[in-house]
Amino acid sequence: MTEFIQFLVELQPEHDKVSHLFYGAILSFVCIVLTKKPCILLILFLSLSKELYDYNNINSFFELTDIVYSIIPSLIFTFIKKQK
């Protein structure tokens, strides 16, 4: 049983990735409400800008996965919209 629990703990994404996913979803929702489009390029630009800012000012690593996690909600909203 402890091996299964350890597996679930390791399966959990990092807090930073969940944060990018959450804020990407909020930005995507706001874009959809305001423009009726998911604004994938806008969110890509914002997440890229944030990563470059972190890299230059906070001395953290540039993580492409953070950008991917940020645009996932827009891609999901786009897919849902195409299905209707």
Query: H-type helices in 1-84, by residue range?
Result: 2-11, 15-35, 40-53, 64-83
Task: Tell me the pLDDT of the chain (84 aa) as tens digits.
Answer: 678 777 766 766 667 788 888 889 999 999 988 988 778 899 999 999 988 988 888 878 888 988 999 999 999 988 888 776
The rounded distance, in Å, linking the Cα atoms of 57 and 50 is 10
Domains of the chain, residue spans = 13-83
